Amino acid sequence: MISKKMQAAIDEQINAEFWSAYLYLSMSAYFERQNLKGFANWMKVQFQEETTHAIKFFDYVHSRGGQVTLKPIAAVDTDWKNNVDIFNETLQHEQHVTSLINNLANIAVEEKDHATNSMLQWFISEQVEEESNVEQILVQLKMIGDNGYGMLMLDRELATRVFVDATKTAAP
């Protein structure tokens, strides 16, 4: 059985994951308006990933005999200054999500909830990958600057990203 404190914290995380998905979908719409289909694709894949993360938490709570309480999702930004700005925000957001996941792990340790702590290890590793991927794109964007050819090449590269539901191969 999952403790009330752990369940409440995971409920908050489910909301944060859905908010993240909503943010990335908004960023995808921004890139669609900029006619950067590859960037839009990259953000749509992020949207899909965050949605599966929320569902992984959702399913986990139920597997432990808990009951998820869904809360309203707050509004997200819809416009940014430029591509560097949007990826700076993405990196800051992923760092924030990392802190949320780390807090969940701290609660699991505090509650002596070894099952939840074990499940959270996948998310901890996932966040290292998320931050690294965003940092790599951000560095490339800064190198490209105003070079249209560079932006076109990066857009084409980002268009090749395909969604793979990593939560299905992860331990529960």
pLDDT per position as a tens digit, 125-140: 999 999 999 999 999 9
Query: Which tokens sit at 53?
Result: 């993360």
Q: Which pLDDT value is given to residue 169?
A: 74
Q: What does pTM read for this prediction?
A: 0.94
Q: Which long-range contacts (CB under 8 A, 24 or more apart) does 106-112 make?
A: 107/5, 107/6, 107/9, 108/6, 111/3, 111/5, 111/6
Has residue 29 got a pLDDT over 70?
A: yes
State the Cα–Cα distance between residues 168 and 164, nearest whole angstrom: 9
CA distance 66 to 82: 43
Enumerate the domain spans of the chain: 4-72+79-165
Q: Crossing angle, helix 83-110 and helix 114-144, to 10 degrees? A: 160
Architecture of the domain delimited by 4-72+79-165: Up-down Bundle (1.20)
Confirm if 73 and 18 have CB atoms less than 8 A apart: yes
Digit-coded pLDDT (tens) for 94-108 = 999 999 999 999 999
**pLDDT, tens only, 145-164:** 989 999 999 999 999 999 99
170 pLDDT exceeds 70?
no
